Amino acid sequence: MVILMKLGRFHINSLFVYRLMKAAGLPIKYFRFSGDCKGRADGFPYKDGTYNTVANGELDEFYRGALTVGQWKLVYESYSPGDAATPDYYYAIYTTNPNRYYHLLNELEWALEKAYNLTDVKQNEDWGLYEGEGFIEWAGERICVLFRTFDRFDVNVEYVYV
């Protein structure tokens, strides 16, 4: 399961955002688990064991994190409870500078909007999907991203390479 963050009209994988924040020098901690959530911890999220399933293989037993851990603040959290056939999914991002994190997200949205407007997004005749590769300038690097959309107002962004 891919967890997406929403920035304006853009949906971005949380791991992509983590990579960009690290590239910008922001102190950040990223946690990702799939399995069985046992509750909320007093500190950072953590794995408390594993178990095996026929359908999904080895999964984690885990605890979700606290909102604040010392100087670290939880700035992004996504929890999707599972069922008998599907595991729980959990993603969390912590930083010591939440104001800078939100400022960088605003800069990222602006960079993606600019790149999207300059990208030649063409319709795939087989699927009806519009897609095109664009570039954003980020932390002194040129990063290639793939834009995919059906309606041009709700756009998935995928990290291609740095």
pLDDT in tens, 67-121: 999 999 999 888 888 887 889 999 999 999 999 988 988 888 888 888 888 888 7
The reported pLDDT for the residue numbered 61 is 94
Per the CB < 8 A criterion, the answer to whether 145 and 158 are in contact is yes
Judged by DSSP in three states, 25 sits in coil
In the block, residue with structure tokens 């853009």: 10
Q: What is the pLDDT of residues 80-95, one digit of tens each?
A: 888 878 899 999 999 9
- DSSP character for 84? S
* Cα 3 to Cα 54, 90, 92, 104, 128, distances in angstroms: 24, 9, 10, 19, 24
The reported pLDDT for the residue numbered 161 is 58
The reported pLDDT for the residue numbered 4 is 62
Q: What is the pLDDT of residues 26-62, one digit of tens each?
A: 999 999 999 999 999 999 999 999 998 888 889 999 9
Q: What is the DSSP string of 115-155?
A: HHHHS--EE-TTT--EEEEEEEEETTEEEEEEEEESSSSSE
The reported pLDDT for the residue numbered 141 is 79
